[in-house]
Amino acid sequence: MEDLTTLKNKAIDSNLEDTIEILKKFYSVPLNQDIVIRNFSISGLDKKATVIYINSITDSEKIEEHIIRPLLTNNSTEKKLENISPAQLLNTHENFSNILQDINNGNTALLIDGEPKAYIFSSSKFQGRSVEKPLNEVVVNGPKEAFNENVIDNISLLRKKIRNENLIFESITISKNSNNVLYIVYMKDLADEKLLQNIKDRINSLDINSIQNLSLLEQYIEDKVKSIFPTILSTERPDRATSFLEDGYIVLLMDNSPDSLVLPATFWSFFHNSEDHYLRFIFGNFIRLLRLLALLITLFISALYIAITNYHVEMVPTDLLLAISATREVVPFPTIIEILMMEIAFELIREGGLRVPNPIGPTIGIVGALILGQAAVEANIVSPLVVIIVALSGLCSFAIGDMKLNFSVRLSRFLFIASAAIFGFYGMTAVLTIGIFYLVSFYSFGVPYLAPMTPKYISSKDTFFRKILKTEQYRPGYLKPKDIVKKKESQ
């Protein structure tokens, strides 16, 4: 018996029986239950034929109606095959590997006795959910469709928003065994060729058996794997992906991923939210301000508390200081232990709440917050002020919508806590300065992380605050888009 791997690259035989036998071997029939091999003869042509498909990922009705029945009821002796069957003929293949790949993709192969090739008809129908509301990037104003696991749906959602022939969906097979397909999406008349080539090079250099989805792919192609800051943005909102595409960014889509990757990403793309632009100028900037405040509070408040109570007591007005020391009197731990205990407890509640089965989800929060906080205070393990501070820092962290930035901020917070415990304000400032040095020298696919704030590029200057929509005239210059002007100033 020939080895299957060598057989794979061989051309099929014109003898139908032999070919079927080999295909059966490939699919381990009858071990594999959902492989359907149907033999029949084409009337009119009077030839034996076989269709083979996987019924769990195909539309059986369509195969029955559009492929098999026309062949069975055919009377003409001259008609060509593609004219008999109304189903879409995708391709004809001669060797096994191509046939197998098409069958694996949910298509149907038709083999005819005496012909050394297989006709491939489109018939795929994968199971999946329909287009639903976004779960993570919730907005009040604006569209409420989200990407789902079916890439064709996702493409359709993007095409719906950009009706332009320059919108390209380039597909690349990125893994060898599972044949996962990645779609590189870009505007042909905007995206920078060098950037596109850089991304393609990184993807093509991968030699991996299987990459199931974008979350995994991201970790293969990102700039600095060990960095605390993310360099690729994920979004589940097609409207957000669209606005990035229209600015000259590049978007990646994949089957089985209910989101898209946007690259390159700057700090600002993580900080922003689509609602910032859907709201009016003032309102949009108001929520930006809130988000900035939340970011600062999450990062600094616990560390500030430690620094002030341990090193800089004189800062606090006397009355407040007395109040603090009165509540701290009964607590046996140093502030750093207190804060760390509560911070870790909060993180645990958060993680636990996330993993807990749905019906008891809400209760966990209440139990966590009420019982733990209240009981800890009553047991004199932590002071009430610490509960307030940790709760504030925890709550504020939810205002940072992007999950990756959220993680970065939550983790850096611990750096600040540690530095505050060791060195007070001096340590915190040192960590902050190092952080700034780090961020300004950080790149995502060649784009500086804090651009366009520094270094300067032509752009719409959308950083902490956004400008009036009419005056956002330029695409971000750091992407080197082929056309920098996106709107003319209206009078």
Partner 1 sequence: MNSMDSTKGKIGLKELVAIIILNVGTKVADNTPTIFYEAFGTAAWIGILIIGLISLIPILLITKLITLYQDKNLIDIILHLFGKHIGFVLLFTLCILQIFTNINNTSIYTDIIGTMYFSKTPTVVIYLLLLGVAAYGAKKGIEYIGSSAWVMLFWICLSLLVILSVVFVQGEFNQIFPILGTGGLELVKGSYQNSSILMDFLYLALIASNVKSATIYKKGIWIGFVIILLAFVLSLIGYVMLFDYYGVRMFDYPYHETIRYIEIGFLNNVELLFFPFWLISSFIRFAFYLYLGALLFGAVFKIKQFEYVVPALAVFTILAGLIPESSVFSMNDFRVIFLNLITPIFLLFPCLLWITAKLKGDFKNE
Structure-block tokens of residue 312: 């800089």
Min dist. Cβ of residue 149 to partner 1 (A): 38
Residue 122's identity, in one-letter code, is S
CB environment 80-96: b (16+ within 10 A), e (fewer): ebeebbebebbebbebb
Asked if 424 touches partner 1 (CB under 8 A), the answer is: yes
Asked if 430 touches partner 1 (CB under 8 A), the answer is: yes
Q: Tokens 């104003």 identify what position?
A: 141
Asked if 450 touches partner 1 (CB under 8 A), the answer is: yes
Stretch that binds partner 1, among 67-75, 245-253, 286-294, 452-460 (CB under 8 A): 452-460
Site string for partner 1, 174-213 (x = CB under 8 A): ------------------x-x-------------------
C-alpha to C-alpha distance for 367 and 300, rounded to whole angstroms: 27
C-alpha to C-alpha distance for 484 and 491, rounded to whole angstroms: 20
**Angle formed at CA 389 by CA 386 and CA 394, multiple of 5 degrees:** 120
Binding residues for partner 1, rule CB under 8 A, total 31
Question: Site for partner 1 (CB under 8 A): which residue of 220, 425, 443, 465?
Answer: 425
Question: Is-cis flag, bond preceding 481, omega within 30?
Answer: no
Alpha-carbon distances of 133 from 16, 152, 270, rounded to whole Å: 49, 17, 21
Min dist. Cβ of residue 172 to partner 1 (A): 25
Q: What is the dihedral of CA 270, 273, 277, 279, to 10 degrees?
A: -150
Asked if 418 touches partner 1 (CB under 8 A), the answer is: no
Asked if 311 touches partner 1 (CB under 8 A), the answer is: yes
Stretch that binds partner 1, among 5-13, 110-118, 224-232, 440-448 (CB under 8 A): 440-448
Asked if 429 touches partner 1 (CB under 8 A), the answer is: yes
C-alpha to C-alpha distance for 266 and 474, rounded to whole angstroms: 17
Question: Site for partner 1 (CB under 8 A): which residue of 453, 472, 484, 486?
Answer: 453
Structure-block tokens of residue 103: 């069958």
Using the minimum distance from each CB to partner 1, give the nearer residue, 456 or 470.
Answer: 456
Give me the helix-helix angle, 403-440 and 335-355, nearest 10°. Answer: 130
C-alpha to C-alpha distance for 94 and 122, rounded to whole angstroms: 17
Stretch that binds partner 1, among 18-26, 239-247, 307-315, 372-380 (CB under 8 A): 307-315
Stretch that binds partner 1, among 25-33, 94-102, 341-349, 421-429 (CB under 8 A): 421-429
Question: Site for partner 1 (CB under 8 A): which residue of 40, 283, 398, 426?
Answer: 426
Edge-to-edge strand list for the sheet holding 250-254: 167-173, 181-187, 250-254, 260-263, 233-235
Structure-block tokens of residue 319: 């009355």
Question: Site for partner 1 (CB under 8 A): which residue of 428, 452, 462, 466?
Answer: 428
Asked if 480 touches partner 1 (CB under 8 A), the answer is: yes
- The partner residues of 447 in beta bridges, in order of sequence, read 444
Asked if 454 touches partner 1 (CB under 8 A), the answer is: yes
Question: Site for partner 1 (CB under 8 A): which residue of 18, 455, 470, 483?
Answer: 455
Asked if 441 touches partner 1 (CB under 8 A), the answer is: yes
Given a contact cutoff of 8 angstroms between Cβ atoms, the answer to whether 19 and 7 are in contact is no
Given a contact cutoff of 8 angstroms between Cβ atoms, the answer to whether 185 and 158 are in contact is yes
Question: Site for partner 1 (CB under 8 A): which residue of 129, 133, 280, 312?
Answer: 312
Min dist. Cβ of residue 311 to partner 1 (A): 8
Asked if 456 touches partner 1 (CB under 8 A), the answer is: yes
Question: Site for partner 1 (CB under 8 A): which residue of 427, 444, 445, 452?
Answer: 427
Using the minimum distance from each CB to partner 1, give the nearer residue, 139 or 187.
Answer: 187
Stretch that binds partner 1, among 128-136, 179-187, 306-314, 354-362 (CB under 8 A): 306-314
Specify the DSSP element, H or E, that contains 301: helix 281-310
Phi, psi of 12 (to 5 degrees): -80, 160
In a 3-state reduction of DSSP, which class is residue 105? Answer: coil
R_g of the chain computed on alpha carbons: 30
Stretch that binds partner 1, among 213-221, 285-293, 310-318, 342-350 (CB under 8 A): 310-318
The residues binding partner 1 (CB under 8 A) are 192, 194, 308, 311-312, 314-315, 317, 423-430, 432-434, 436-437, 440-441, 448, 450, 453-456, 478, 480
